[in-house]
Amino acid sequence: MSSTWLNLLGLLVALFLALATGGEASPFNENRFRARTQPRQGSMPPIPTTPPFNPYG
């Protein structure tokens, strides 16, 4: 067999395994992607109440 056929066979096996496992562990899950890119509600850091430091006084 040539290396091209072996690469295609490997990709098919990887695709089959990814589709067979499915469920919550899927890397293509839309909710999982959204959780990584958008912060949760209420997770903003607190705003400091002191004025910024002014070196020129």
pLDDT digit string (tens) for 8-53? 999 988 888 777 766 555 566 566 555 555 556 666 777 777 777 7
Supply the pLDDT for residue 2.
Answer: 82
pLDDT at 3 over 80: yes
Q: What separation in angstroms does the CA of 4 have from each of 7, 14, 18, 44?
A: 5, 15, 21, 50
pLDDT of residue 28: 60
pTM of the model: 0.36
